[in-house]
Structure formats: C-alpha cells, structure tokens
C-alpha cells in the first residue's frame, strides 16, 4: 500500500545531508546517551582507531613543523642576502671613501689642520670639518685592509665592524664613502644605506661573519632535503591514516545496517503497520548514510583539526609570543562573526525550507491532480498560487544564500586583519633583528592556515549534533519491542489438514476500540469461508490473526487442534498460502518469484505450478520466458499477470490453508477468467478463506463472514443470512440486484 508513498520524492529533513554552514541543526534528544552508544559501535575497531590517531598526530606534527623548518632556510637566505648587501655597500663605500679622501688630499682641500674656521677655506664644502678625532679615524680608515682583498669571513666582518664604528665616531667617513651617490643626487640611496638600525647592522655583520657573503646553499640544500623528507613522511602517514580509516567507518556502518536489518526481522507486523514505510526506509538508508559520512570524514577531521590548532599555537608561540597573541586576539572576532551570521542564516534557511516545502507540496498536488485542474479550468489559479509561493521562496532564498555567502569573505577579512597586524609588527621586529624574515613568513603561514581548522571544528560540532540525531532515529528502531519468541516446546505439525477453530477470540488494534469480541468458529478441512463486506472491511485483520502477525487479546485460535501460540511461527506460516490483490513480487526473474515459496524447487515443478495457474502461456510469450526479470516498478507485466504469478507461487508452496482475494480490478476480462480458473484449481481440497466478490463463491461457501469496519457483524451460510434480513441481506440486494433500492431512498 505504501509503495506509492515511497515513490514520492523524498523531502529532506533540513540539515540532513552533512549540513552546510548555517543550516538549522537538528538537535538530538539525548545527546550524551546516544553519543556514547554510537561510540560503542566503534569499539571493535579501537586498534585501528588508535593507529589512526597515532598517524594523525604524526602526520600533522610533521606538517606543522614544516613551515618552521622552511623558516630556517629562508633565514639563511636572508642572512646571505643581508651579508652580500652589506659587503657590496660597505666595500664600495670603502673604495669610494679612499678614492675621495685621496682626491681631496691631492687637491689640498683636506689638510691636517687645527684651525676649524670655515672662512679660511671658502671654496671647499662647508660640511667637511674635521677635528682631531675624525682625523685619526680617517687615518685608521685608510689603514684598514680592503674588503675585496680579504678572504676570510671573520676578517671581513671585523673590518666592516671597524668601518662602521669609525663612521659613528666620524660621520665624515660616511660622507666620503657615499659622496658619489650624494653628488649624483640620488640622496635617497645614500640615506637608505645609512638607515640600517643598529640591530640590523649587527646581525648583518654576524651574517657576514658566518657566510662570508656567500649564499650557504649547502645549508639550504640540507634543509630542503629535510623538508622533502618531512613532506613525504607527512603525506605517507596521512595516506596510511586514510587507508586504515577507510575500513573503520564503513565496517561500523555495515554492522549497524546488519543489526537494523536483523532487528526488522524480529519486529512484529504491528510495527510496520504503524510506521510509514518511507520513514523506516529513510532511517535505514539516509540516516545511516549520514552516520557513515560523519565517521568517514569528520572523525579524522576532528582529530587532525584539533592537533593542528594546538600544534599551530605551540609553533607560533615558539616563534613569537606577542605575535601569537595578535593572532589569538582575532579569535573573538571570528566567534562574533560566526555567531552573528549563523543566527541570521539559520533564520533565513528555515524560512527557505518552509517555502520550499510549501512549493513542493503545491507542485506535487497540482501535478498529481492535473486532470482535475484541467477539467475545471483552474490552471490560472494554480499558477497564481505558485508564483506567490515562488516569490516568497525567492525572498527567503537569496537572503539565505547571501548571508551564508558572506561568511567566507568575512572570515577572510578577519584573517587579513591578523595578517596585516603580523606584517606590521613582524616587519618592525625584523628591522630590530628580533626575528628573521623566515620566521615571519612561517608565522604568516601558520596564522593563515589557522582559519581552516577553526572553521572546521566549529562546523564539526554541528555535524556531530545532526549525526547523533540520525543515530538516535536508528537506535529507536533497535529499541522497539520484538515479537514474542517461539516457546521452546513449540510443536511442528506434519501434514497439516487445515482445520481451523476460533474459541472466544477477542481482538482489537487500539486499546479502546474493540474489533472482535468472543468469536467462535469451526472450519473443517477443505471447506470454504467467504468473507463479504465493503472494501477495506478488514480482510487484513483476518490474515493478521490467522498467521499470528498480531497477537489476539483473549481466547485461542487453533489449527488441527493445536493452539497456534504453541506452533513455531515459521511452521505456522508455512501452512498458509496467500493470494491478495496487492501482489508482492520482488525484483528478480519470474522463475525465482514462483519458486519463492519453495526452496530448491526444480524447473519442472515451477513450470507445472505455472501451468496450473494458467500463467505458463503468457510467461512463454515474454522475450526471456521464465528468466524475464521483473523490473523495479513491476511495470513489464500487467497487474493480472502478476496475480497469476502469485497464484503459481502459492500452488508451488502447496499450503494447507488459503487466504484469497477474489477482487480483480484493473485486470482485463480474459485474464480475469484465467485468474478465476486458477483460483479454483488452487482451492481444490484446501481450507480457504476467500474475500469474495463473486456470487457463486459466496453462495457455495460453507460459511459467510459478513464484515463491516473491521469487525464481524454476521455469520452463517447464504440462506441463513438472507432469512435473517440484516446487513448481509441489504448488501446482497443492493449489490447484486441493483436499482431496487432507489425507489426506497427517494
């Protein structure tokens, strides 16, 4: 019956499929309990999980360490760069300085004199004024070895240090050194060169001492090699982690699916009648899929994210505490932005979901009722309503998309604020040689990558929430009450005759709605019981009780004198054959479908059953004969043909008792005749409960049960019931004699 319902497009519960950012999150009822329970499913895999954890830690640690190691290479590069810059500048300055000094001395412009009055030398540069200290400094400057003649880094460094110290004592030296560039007007250049901070000069001198103005590619190369190793190992670990994890999540979910399936096998029919199939289906498929996705992705993600965050913070602190604080200071900004947007976005997403639901509802209704809409010419109204909802959906939709869309840019902006902050502070610190360039670059790398795991963890919280809600729904199935188990001394009836008796049977589906009370019935082997009544009057109730799909409330039902409670369920059900109007065949070959009732049936038996059911002929006209696969919707054979197959199936199963539905609506006349013949074949010599539609069946039946609204209101044979003049008589007259009633009613 709910086959149709299942075919409807599934309406997704919001926030289901790995909720995107800002979607409303489904809350679990008992988060803690369900969480623990879900975790318990991971227990068999704990060794694997530990391996995953170890490799995750290792892999992340390596990848965290990499920027720091890179920083060493970059710093070395910076050292070389600085040293070379220092050497070229000071070296050129030394040369120029000596040249200029000599030139001036030659022009006698520069004399060793004590007279400091500028007026005596009107044509010389007024800014060259030398006192004794300067003179001795210049003398010392001239004595120094030339930088480009020196081989040793230490000597070079010493010389540079001396030049700089001398320059400090006597600024004139700087003047001589960079006179050319000053004269050329590129004053900037000279000033730039002079503007090194003391710290920078010191570290540059250190760099000269260490590198001798050469780039230390051996060192950088070594770092590079280490880095290659680190990267490879980190990737390798991460691959191993993924490989180990690939089994864990899927196997856990497989076991869960298996458990649910086994549970479904033990649940009483009541459960299936009370719960929409679509809902059960969605729990076993969609919900479990969500759990699977979460275990697969989020579990590793949460491990790596947390380790990464901690690792990053540690690494950043080792580089610079203050800079780390700058990064951490942006955290509240992240939180504020996230919280603000999440609140808005959840509101809009909920609105969008609501409008979408309404729109889908309208579309579904209008399309399924298309004929009526057309017949009554209401297309315009339908379109009008659609446009109205569509407009509302637009309004809610673009807002939801917009708000969730600005999330990333805003996060990025917050990240950029931190980035700029670090650039500024870091830049200034480099000038003071507190940090190397490499350190700053590494730090920037850390801080930029910091955003990702932060966003991930905040997302994971939501994902886990909705996953637990999914898990809860699955657990609900697992916690349902099961069918009463067969008693240990349950009997097996060999060669059942098919005598059925009801003794004081009472039954009700709902506590307060009595359905059957004190029913007594004795059916002899091979007799036919006709059940008559308006459609849906309770034929399933009878099936439910006889086959013990439901437990009766009082009294007993026995077969061949044995209370069915004492018969093994599987044996009990084997005694029955069912041919109902809503045929159930599965997606498989016709052969397999007929053989469904009897394992290891031979082809011969199958064909014989099909012949007895008058199905053989049509089966042979199909392109693949008995091997024709019934498609998913079962549309490749007609409704009547399906019914013939179920009859063949029942014939092959050879039950002692039959439950038949004579109704043959949606069946063409010819097949209808075939079905009737086949049913007659089937009923021969078997006790049959027939939901009767044909007059002959009713009249020939040993017993007629008149049912209305689920309960049996009259009982007896045709003559008795007619004589009684009750419901049956009424029914009989109106159904089979037609118009007579009209005059009465007017």
Partner 1 sequence: MIRLYRFLKPYTAMVIGVFIFVFLQTLGDLYLPTLMSDIINKGVMQGDTDKILQTGGFMLLVAGAGVICAIIASLLSSKVAVGLGTILRSKVFRRVESFSLHEFDKIGTATLITRTTNDINQIQMVTIMIMRMMIAAPMMAIGGIILALRRDKPLTLVLAVAIPLLGIVIGLIASKMIPLFRLVQVKIDKINLILREKLTGIRVIRAFNTVERESKRFDDANVDLTENYIKVNRIMAFMMPAIMLIMNFTSLAILWFGGIRISEDNMDLGQLSAFTQYAMQIMFSMLMLAMMYIMVPRAQAAAVRINEVLDTVPEIVNPKEIKDNYSGKGYIEFKDVTFSYHGAEEPALKNISFSAKPGEVTAIIGSTGAGKSTLINLIPRFYDVDSGSILIDGVDVRDMSQENLREKIGFVPQKAVLFSGTVTDNIKFGNDGATDDEVRRAAEIAQAAEFINGMDGGYNYEIAQGGTNVSGGQKQRLSIARALVRKPEIYVFDDSFSALDFKTDAKLRAALKNEIAESTVIIVAQRVGTVMDADRIIVMNEGEIAGMGTHKELLETCEVYREIVSSQLSEEEIA
User: Among 109-117, 155-163, 289-297, 557-565, which window interacts with partner 1 (CB under 8 A)?
Assistant: 289-297
CA separation for the pair 331, 324 (Å, rounded): 11
The verdict on 242 binding partner 1 (CB under 8 A) reads yes
Task: By CB under 8 A, name the one of 672, 677, 715, 716 that touches partner 1.
Answer: 672
Among 49, 417, 565, 713, binds partner 1 (CB under 8 A): 417
Residues of this chain, 724-743, that bind partner 1 according to CB under 8 A: 730-731, 734-739, 741-743
Which CB, 140 or 214, lies closer to partner 1?
A: 214
Sign for the CA dihedral angle at 342, 345, 350, 353 comes to negative
> d(Cα 240, Cα 246) in Å, to the nearest integer?
10
CB 446 within 8 A of CB 312: yes
Which listed residue (44, 118, 171, 247) binds partner 1 by CB under 8 A?
247
Q: Which of residues 532-551 bind partner 1 (CB under 8 A)?
A: 534-536, 543, 547, 549
Angle at the Cα of 473 (from 469 to 474), degrees rounded to 5?
Answer: 115
Whether the CB-CB separation of 697 and 690 falls below 8 Å is answered with yes
Minimal distance in Å, beta carbon 527 to partner 1? Answer: 21
Contacts of partner 1 in 82-111 (CB under 8 A): 82, 85
Q: Does 200 bind partner 1 (CB under 8 A)?
A: yes
Contact status: 719 vs partner 1 (CB under 8 A): no
Binding mask 482-521 for partner 1 (x = CB under 8 A): ----------------------------------------
Position among 423, 458, 566, 628 found at the interface with partner 1 (CB under 8 A) = 423
Residue 147: strand, helix, or coil: helix
Binding to partner 1 (CB under 8 A): which residues in 292-351? 292, 296
**Dihedral angle sign, alpha carbons of residues 386, 392, 395, 400:** negative
Round to whole Å and give the CA distance between 82 and 92: 15
Distance CA 359, CA 118 (A): 96
Q: Residues 31, 41, 175, 231: which binds partner 1 (CB under 8 A)?
A: 231
Task: Report the SS3 class of residue 601.
Answer: coil
- In the bound state with partner 1, the residue whose beta carbon lies nearer, of 114 and 737, is 737
Helix (H) or strand (E) holding 659: strand 657-661
Which 620-659 positions form the footprint of partner 1 (CB under 8 A)?
632, 653
Q: Both ends of the chain: CA-CA distance in Å?
A: 37
Binding-site string for partner 1 from residue 16 to residue 55, where x marks contact by CB under 8 A and - marks none: ----------------------------------------
Min CB(628)–partner 1 separation in Å: 17
**Cβ closer to partner 1: 324 or 345?**
345
Which one, 378 or 608, has the nearer CB to partner 1?
378
Site for partner 1 contains 70 (CB under 8 A)? yes
* Cβ(508)–Cβ(318) below 8 Å: no
Long-range contacts: 138-144, Cβ < 8 Å, 24+?
Answer: 138/101, 138/170, 138/172, 138/173, 138/176, 140/166, 141/97, 141/98, 141/101, 141/166, 141/170, 141/173, 142/98, 142/101, 144/94
The answer to whether residue 80 forms part of the interface with partner 1 (CB under 8 A) is: yes
Which of 139, 184, 368, 636 touches partner 1 (CB under 8 A)?
368
Residue 402 Cβ, how far from partner 1 at the closest point, in Å?
4
CB of 31 to partner 1, least distance (A): 27
Exactly one of 130, 284, 460, 674 binds partner 1 (CB under 8 A); that residue is 284
For 629, phi then psi, to 5°, come to: -90, 125
Q: Measured from the CB atom, is 112 or 329 closer to partner 1?
A: 329
Instruction: Give the list of residues 6+ apart from residue 47 with CB closer than 8 angstroms, or none.
Output: none
């Amino acid at each position: 019956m709910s086959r149709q319902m299942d075919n409807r497009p599934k309406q997704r519960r919001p926030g289901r499929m790995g909720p995107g950012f800002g979607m409303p999150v489904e809350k679990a009822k008992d988060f803690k309990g369900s969480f623990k329970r879900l975790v318990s499913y991971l227990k068999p895999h704990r060794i694997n999980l530990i391996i995953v954890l170890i490799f995750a830690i290792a892999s992340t640690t390596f990848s965290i360490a990499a920027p720091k190691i890179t920083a060493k290479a970059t710093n070395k590069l910076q050292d070389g760069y600085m040293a070379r810059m220092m050497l070229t500048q000071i070296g050129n300055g030394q040369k120029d300085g000596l040249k200029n000094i000599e030139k001036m001395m030659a022009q006698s412009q520069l004399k060793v004199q004590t007279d400091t009055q500028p007026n005596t030398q009107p044509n010389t540069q007024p800014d060259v004024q030398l006192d004794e200290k300067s003179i001795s400094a210049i003398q010392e400057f001239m004595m120094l070895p030339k930088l480009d003649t020196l081989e040793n880094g230490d000597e070079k460094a010493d010389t540079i240090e001396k030049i700089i110290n001398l320059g400090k004592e006597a600024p004139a030296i700087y003047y001589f050194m960079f006179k050319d560039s000053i004269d050329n007007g590129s004053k900037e250049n000279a000033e730039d060169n002079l503007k090194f901070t003391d710290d920078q000069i010191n570290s540059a001198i250190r760099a000269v001492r260490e590198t001798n103005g050469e780039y230390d590619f051996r060192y950088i190369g070594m770092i590079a090699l280490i880095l290659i190793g680190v990267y490879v190992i980190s990737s390798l670990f991460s691959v191993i982690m993924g490989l180990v994890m690939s089994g864990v999540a899927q196997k856990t979910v497989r076991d869960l699916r298996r458990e649910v399936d086994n549970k479904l096998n033990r649940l009483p029919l009541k459960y299936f009648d009370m719960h929409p199939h679509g809902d059960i289906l969605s729990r076993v498929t969609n919900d479990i899929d969500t759990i699977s996705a979460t275990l697969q992705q989020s579990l590793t993600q949460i491990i790596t994210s947390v380790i990464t965050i901690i690792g990053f913070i540690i690494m950043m602190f080792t580089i610079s505490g203050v800079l780390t604080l700058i990064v951490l200071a942006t955290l509240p900004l992240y939180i504020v932005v996230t919280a603000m947007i999440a609140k808005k976005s959840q509101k809009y997403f909920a609105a969008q979901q609501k409008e979408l639901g309404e729109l889908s509802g309208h579309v579904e209704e209008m399309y399924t009722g298309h004929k009526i809409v057309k017949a009554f010419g209401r297309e315009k109204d339908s379109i009008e309503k659609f446009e109205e909802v569509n407009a509302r959906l637009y309004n809610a939709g673009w807002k939801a998309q917009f708000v969730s869309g600005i999330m990333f840019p805003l996060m990025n902006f917050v990240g950029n604020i931190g980035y700029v902050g670090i650039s500024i502070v870091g830049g200034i610190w480099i000038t003071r040689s507190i940090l190397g360039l490499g350190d700053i670059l590494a730090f920037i790398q850390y801080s930029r990558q910091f955003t990702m795991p932060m966003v991930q963890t905040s997302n994971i919280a939501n994902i886990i929430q909705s996953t637990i809600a999914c898990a809860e729904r699955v657990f609900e199935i697992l916690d349902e009450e099961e069918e009463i188990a067969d008693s240990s001394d349950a009997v097996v009836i060999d060669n059942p005759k098919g005598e059925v008796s009801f003794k004081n049977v009472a039954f009700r589906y709902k506590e307060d709605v009595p359905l059957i009370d004190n029913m007594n019935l004795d059916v002899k082997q091979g007799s036919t019981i006709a059940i008559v009544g308006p459609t849906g009057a309770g034929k399933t109730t009878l099936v439910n009780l006889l086959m013990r799909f439901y437990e009766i409330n009082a009294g007993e039902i026995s077969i061949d004198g044995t209370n069915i409670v004492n018969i093994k369920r599987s044996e009990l059900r084997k005694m029955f054959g069912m041919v109902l109007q809503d045929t159930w065949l599965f997606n498989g070959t016709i052969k397999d479908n007929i053989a469904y009732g009897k394992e290891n049936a031979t082809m011969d038996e199958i064909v014989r059953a099909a012949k007895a059911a008058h199905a053989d002929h049509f089966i042979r006209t199909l392109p693949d004969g008995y091997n024709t696969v019934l498609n998913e919707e079962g549309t490749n054979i007609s409704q009547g043909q399906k019914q013939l197959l179920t009859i063949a199936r029942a014939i092959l199963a050879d039950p002692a008792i039959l439950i038949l539905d004579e109704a043959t609506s949606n069946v063409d006349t010819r097949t209808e005749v075939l079905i009737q013949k086949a049913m007659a074949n089937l009923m021969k010599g078997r006790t049959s409960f027939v939901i009767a539609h044909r007059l002959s069946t009713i009249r020939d039946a040993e017993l007629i049960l008149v049912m209305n609204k689920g309960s049996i209101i009259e009982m007896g044979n045709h003559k008795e019931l007619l004589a009684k003049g009750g419901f049956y008589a009424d029914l009989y007259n109106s159904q089979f004699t037609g118009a007579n009633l009209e005059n009465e009613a007017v």
